[in-house]
């Protein structure tokens, strides 16, 4: 499906932006250069008649994205959390894309539930409400369990959503291929790999069984986190297209007036949402990757409630340590160490100059310190960082895309609660705690313990494994049986000695 016919889809995208009046608004918000503005307008204007009209009662930008489909809506959701990038007015307009989209028929929702669960809605639920929230992929109804009287939220996928996303993703693939063909320098950013990563995340979000599983794992990881809670999943009433969970009462995190009226401290909430995200990412390596205001509430007791677990992020232990060291280096303003970490992790080609890279990183980090947080332009910082990475030949790290994207969203949420928040000061205690636990003597002992466990499991076979590898590499003539027995004995003694030395080292460290 990724053929040239996708040109029509991309032309229609520009035409819709032009027809709804969103093109100029978006260009102004992103501060696009004059050449870019002129080129896009010249391409889109002749095809303006192909663009979708959208709902005239909705502001131009969300009107255009809603008309274009779910993938574009997801993009708008991210922009809604970044007033520092697109301005307060456009960010406020985009916020309607989070959970206030036009719902589909309640009869269609009930038919889907009956088809998935095998029982009529009336046999399972009482007080089945009209949609209380409608997002890009699904909508939510409130009901009461007939058997227990417990209030629950029922999430139902939109009809035809799988095909709608496939159409958009295929167009994105086509656009990525065209970009790589026309601009070879863009290949270092691996746009096709980025779209493949996005596709994997989105397709996983379209199976609510996976979302229920993610919610369960996330709840197990965070059960002891103060000021944080998750609704429980009702497994017996969940399937691929329907998910039932405990109803969460609270004020939407995007409604500052409601938060203030409930007596909550928005400064505390802003700090907490950022620190919770960092704790989950660094401590667990498993984090909520769609933490916009539409997926967060504040409970009456002040706890932050998270829901909608369709997009979860995972990073391995090594990557977490690299990420923490980079963050910690910026916090401590140790740009030389930040540069060294990039080289050690292979993020920067080894033939580049580490000192020059450290100086470039200093130019990125220094504007953050000693400045009023409200004056820091993250857009400018990200723009300059892009120039730095391009100059030093860094490639896009697909395993970090979701982490970086979520960090941007979470910072936007925190800043909407407290415009004066300083992300570095708030992040410092979380990162320092992780550094102490993951890079100190106890962490080294734990790593050695894991290594020893693997050696113990493969210990009896290690001599044979090593010998086989050497023989395959050099293809020597077969050794006499007596010589081979001596070699095996030597490998066994060596492995036993390594194991004893490891145990002694662990004992000293602990």
Q: Could you tell me which of 108, 157, 153, 154 has the C-alpha nearest to residue 137?
A: 157
Handedness of CA 67, 69, 72, 76 (dihedral sign): positive
Reported for 322-328, long-range contacts at CB under 8 A and 24+ positions apart, including other chains, are 323/281, 323/282, 323/400, 323/403, 324/282, 324/431, 324/434, 324/435, 324/438, 324/439, 325/435, 325/439, 327/427, 327/431, 328/431, 328/432, 328/435
Q: CB–CB of 348/188 below 8 Å?
A: no
Which residues are registered as beta bridge partners of 125? 145
CA angle in degrees (0–180, nearest 5) for 350-353-358: 110
Phi and psi based region of residue 250 (left: phi greater than 0; alpha: psi -120 to 50; beta: remaining): left
Q: Could you tell me which of 91, 87, 89, 88 has the C-alpha nearest to residue 79?
A: 91
Element (H, E) at 139: strand 138-145
Q: Which two tokens stand for residue 293?
A: 């205001």
Q: How far is CA 304 from CA 258, 423, 476, in A?
A: 14, 19, 65
Q: Which two tokens stand for residue 432?
A: 């320092």
CA distance 205 to 207: 6
DSSP letters spanning 383-436: HHHHHHHHHTTPPP-HHHHHHHHHHHHHHHHHHHH-TT--HHHHHHHHHHHHHH
Phi, psi torsion values for 34, nearest 5 degrees: -55, -40
Percent helix, strand, coil in the chain (nearest 5)? 65, 10, 25
Q: Which two tokens stand for residue 421?
A: 């928040």
Element (H, E) at 501: helix 481-509
Pairing state between β 312-314 and 251-252: unpaired
Handedness of CA 270, 276, 281, 283 (dihedral sign): positive
Element (H, E) at 465: helix 462-474
The upper half-sphere exposure of residue 275, i.e. CA atoms within 13 Å in the direction of its Cβ, equals: 21
Catalytic annotation, residues:
290
């Amino acid at each position: 499906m990724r053929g040239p016919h996708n040109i029509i889809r991309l032309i229609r995208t520009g035409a819709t932006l032009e027809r709804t009046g969103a093109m100029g608004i978006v260009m102004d918000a992103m501060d696009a250069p004059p050449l870019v503005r002129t080129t896009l307008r010249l391409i889109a204007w002749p095809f303006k008649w192909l663009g979708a009209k959208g709902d005239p009662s909705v502001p131009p930008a969300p009107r255009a994205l809603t008309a274009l489909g779910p993938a574009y809506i997801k993009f708008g959701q991210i922009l809604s959390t970044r007033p520092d990038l697109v301005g307060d007015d456009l960010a406020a307009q985009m916020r309607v894309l989070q959970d206030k989209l036009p719902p589909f028929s309640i009869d269609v929702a009930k038919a889907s539930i009956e088809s998935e669960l095998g029982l009529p809605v009336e046999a399972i639920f009482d007080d089945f409400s009209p949609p209380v929230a409608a997002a890009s992929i699904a909508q939510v109804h409130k009901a009461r369990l007939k058997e227990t009287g417990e209030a629950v939220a029922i999430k139902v996928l939109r009809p035809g959503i799988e095909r709608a996303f496939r159409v958009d993703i295929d167009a994105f693939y086509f656009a990525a291929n065209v970009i790589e063909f026309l601009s070879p320098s863009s290949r270092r950013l691996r746009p096709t790999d980025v779209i493949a990563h996005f596709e994997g995340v989105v397709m996983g979000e379209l199976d609510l069984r996976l979302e229920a599983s993610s919610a369960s794992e996330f709840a197990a990881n965070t059960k002891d986190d103060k000021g944080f809670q998750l609704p429980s999943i009702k497994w017996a009433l969940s399937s691929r297209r329907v998910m039932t969970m405990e109803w969460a009462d609270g004020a939407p995190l995007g409604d500052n007036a409601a938060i203030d009226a409930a007596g909550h401290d928005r400064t505390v909430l802003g700090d907490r949402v950022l620190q919770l995200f960092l704790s989950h990412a660094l401590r667990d390596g498993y984090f909520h990757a769609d933490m916009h205001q539409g997926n967060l509430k504040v409970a009456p007791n002040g706890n932050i409630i998270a829901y909608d677990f369709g997009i979860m992020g995972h990073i391995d232990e090594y990557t977490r340590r690299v990420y923490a060291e980079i963050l910690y280096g910026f916090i401590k303003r140790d740009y030389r160490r930040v540069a060294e970490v990039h080289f050690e992790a292979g993020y920067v080609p080894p033939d580049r100059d580490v000192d020059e890279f450290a100086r470039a990183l200093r130019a990125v980090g220094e504007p953050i310190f000693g400045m009023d947080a409200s004056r820091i332009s993250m857009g400018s910082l990200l723009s300059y960082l892009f120039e730095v990475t391009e100059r030093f030949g860094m490639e896009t790290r697909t395993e970090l895309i979701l982490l970086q994207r979520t960090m941007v969203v979470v910072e936007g949420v925190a800043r909407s609660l407290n415009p004066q928040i300083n992300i570095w000061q708030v992040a410092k205690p979380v990162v320092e705690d992780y550094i102490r636990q993951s890079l100190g003597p106890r962490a080294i002992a734990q790593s050695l313990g894991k290594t020893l466990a693997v050696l113990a499991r493969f210990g009896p076979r290690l001599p044979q494994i090593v010998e086989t590898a050497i023989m395959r590499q050099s293809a020597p003539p077969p050794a006499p049986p007596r010589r081979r027995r001596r070699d095996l004995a030597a490998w066994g003694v060596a492995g036993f000695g390594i194991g004893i030395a490891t145990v002694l080292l662990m004992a000293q460290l602990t």
